[in-house]
Structure 1
Amino acid sequence: MKNFLLFTFLAFANLYLSQSNQRVSVSGTKYSMIPPEGFEKSQSFSGFQHTESGSSIMINELPASYEDLVKEFTSEALKSKGMNLLDKTIIDFNGSKANVFKITQVANGKIYLKQLLVFGDQTKTVLVNGIYPEINKNLEESIKKSILSTIYNSEQNVDPANVVSFSVDIADSGFKFIKYMSGSLLYSIDGKIPTDKPTIIVGNSISKISVKDFKKFAEDRFRSLPGAKDAVFKNVNKITIDNLNGYEIIAEVSEKEDQPQMIYQTILFNEDSGYFIIVGQTKENFEKYKSLFQKISKTFKRK
């Protein structure tokens, strides 16, 4: 489950941008940073974006030990998720150690570069991800400088309900809200993350994309989920929720040395070329949780 969360959220003309001098709080988090000039607060995730260049900076906080999680960032592990590790540096950061990774990834037919700052302690790991197209490589230094300006503020207000642009109803489902993470709401049955118990994640696309074949996109998006590359689909159904058209996919998958699990995915396509996504995962009582995932999905509403 730890890897499922980690790689789920890793898995989305030249212009010069100088650094601004204003520190800005990151919505949905207790962190702030100094974004590059021209970057604006995102309405889709915790961070900043520059629409013209297709660049973004986002923050994720995972409830997992930094020392344990950073070990997952190996060349082999990243390559298995479609990413290539170019460089890794250990730095002094805010009184402790942190890792900075430089990564490449192909998405939507374009090559992207990532400057990824990873730090934390025994209870949490923070990922600050600066993403920019390869053709905008000149942004590298300003983005890296920005992610390194990240600081924590315990007094900063965090209210996930005021950040996301959607809602779902989990009443009587047994699921408990755990965490807001970069545009997504995380729920689990036992109130813990990571966990081996059933989980459900509700979120939206980070950027606007043009989708011509909804079914193919939904199937490809499903196969990008951890452990789902070779999944055999049990159901692929057209679905309409909140006047949005999309596809529901259900599959049972089995990873080496792990028990089988069911993965449920619903993608709803928005009018502005974005999409909303709901992903449920369980290793137990497949029929029960399939029904619960479907019930929760049907309560989805845009704000």
Structure 2
Amino acid sequence: MKKILLIGLLLIGQVCFGQTKDLIKVPGTKCSLIPPDGFVIASNFSGFQNNETGTSIMITEIPAPYQSIIDGFTADALKMKGMTLIKKQTIDFKNSKATFFNVTQSANETNYFKQILVFGDAQQTILVSGIYPEVSKSIEPIIKEALLSTVYDQSQNESPLDAAIFTVDTSNTDFKLIKYMSGSLLYSTDGKIPTEKPILIVGNSIGKVPTQNRKKYAEERLKKLPNGNQSIIKQINEITIDNLNGYEIIANGKTKNNIPELIYQAMLFNDKGDYYMIVGQTKENFEKYLETFKKITKTFKRK
């Protein structure tokens, strides 16, 4: 999806790499890997986590060509996302080539290291990211070993609805489920990603967020959407869904090609610093799709 941010060797020559007894399937993906000791399947993203060390391994499958993703991973592009490129190298991976990145990033006054394995083909790219705080830097070789154990299996059932920790009802609407990615369910009206048709993204936060001023946070989050800095907020309404309080924002925005679009964003917060987010965007039939976005949002439920 042109609006999906960031965010294999998949079937080069129609070769499919099978699983071994040591590999563990990653819910919501076609990938498996061997996680380090102490890691468990993550509850709010596709991957594994170790809560004691604050370390995680996250898998993101992007429906975009491998080379275009690699070309976008420049030092300047990473810097704009708050990351510093330390090293970039091409490596041999599963009888083909992949790219391995080492970067650093600060968040919540903590410095994190990231190792990112990127592989793919002309249709899809897989990012396998190992993230750990600087104080746990000694785990670096163990994380790298886990990343390099990744296997992509085209026949593996992604089970996107099982991977998500929430549900929404899109029946009797135009929206079709595409996939689960980075804690989010992706929908579009034509069943394609990328697409120029209306889209819907329903997801959960991966990290904790400030809860002092939720309304302000929701407004700031809207501005972080692609081209969100051009969005003009028309309405902000308080909402309560599934016993969660939050804010519904209706805004007029523009695409990168300067085409007007309607943006609908709903954010629901719990008392633990987590949030859930529903984003709908359309360049057509604003009134119809605004009603649809609201209808689907009201069906949101946590599992």
- The normalised TM-score by structure 1 is 0.87
User: Which residue does 1:135 correspond to in 2?
Assistant: 135
User: Which residue does 1:301 correspond to in 2?
Assistant: 301
Give the SS at the match of 2:259.
coil
Give the SS at the match of 2:149.
coil
- What are the Cα deviations for residues 72-128 of structure 1, in whole angstroms up to 9, with x where unaligned? 222333333333333211111111111112233333343322211111111211111
Identity %: 55
Match status 1:94 vs 2:117: no
**Distance in 2 between the 1:106 and 1:282 partners?**
34
Sort the Cα spacing of 1:210 and 1:6 in 2 relative to 1 into closer, same or farther, 3 A.
Answer: closer
Q: What is the Cα deviation at residue 49 of structure 1?
A: 0.6
- What are the Cα deviations for residues 110-162 of structure 1, in whole angstroms up to 9, with x where unaligned? 33222111111112111111112233322322212211110123453332222
Stretch deviating more after TM superposition (74-83 or 177-186): 74-83
Match status 1:120 vs 2:120: yes
**Equivalence map 1:150-299=2 (5 Å):** 150-209=150-209, 211-254=211-254, 257-299=257-299
Match status 1:5 vs 2:4: yes
Q: What is the Cα deviation at residue 209 of structure 1?
A: 4.3
Match status 1:82 vs 2:86: no
**Distance in 2 between the 1:5 and 1:164 partners?**
18
The answer (yes or no) to whether the contact 2:230–2:254 under 8 Å persists in 1 is no
**Distance in 1 between the 2:102 and 2:229 partners?**
25
Match of 1:291, as an amino acid? E
**Distance in 2 between the 1:221 and 1:39 partners?**
30
**Distance in 2 between the 1:217 and 1:295 partners?**
23
Give the SS at the match of 1:225.
coil
User: What value does the CA root-mean-square deviation take over the aligned residues?
Assistant: 2.1
Q: What is the Cα deviation at residue 61 of structure 1?
A: 0.9
Moved over 6 A (4+): none
What residue ranges of structure 2 are gaps of 5+ in the alignment?
Answer: 8-20
What residue ranges of structure 1 are gaps of 5+ in the alignment?
Answer: 10-20
**Distance in 1 between the 2:147 and 2:296 partners?**
36
Sort the Cα spacing of 1:233 and 1:81 in 2 relative to 1 into closer, same or farther, 3 A.
Answer: farther
User: Which residue does 2:67 correspond to in 1?
Assistant: 67
Q: What is the Cα deviation at residue 257 of structure 1?
A: 4.0
Match of 1:65, as an amino acid? P
Instruction: Report the number of matched residues.
Output: 290
Match of 2:151, as an amino acid? I
**Distance in 2 between the 1:230 and 1:106 partners?**
27
Give the SS at the match of 2:143.
helix
Give the SS at the match of 2:228.
coil
Q: What is the Cα deviation at residue 59 of structure 1?
A: 0.7
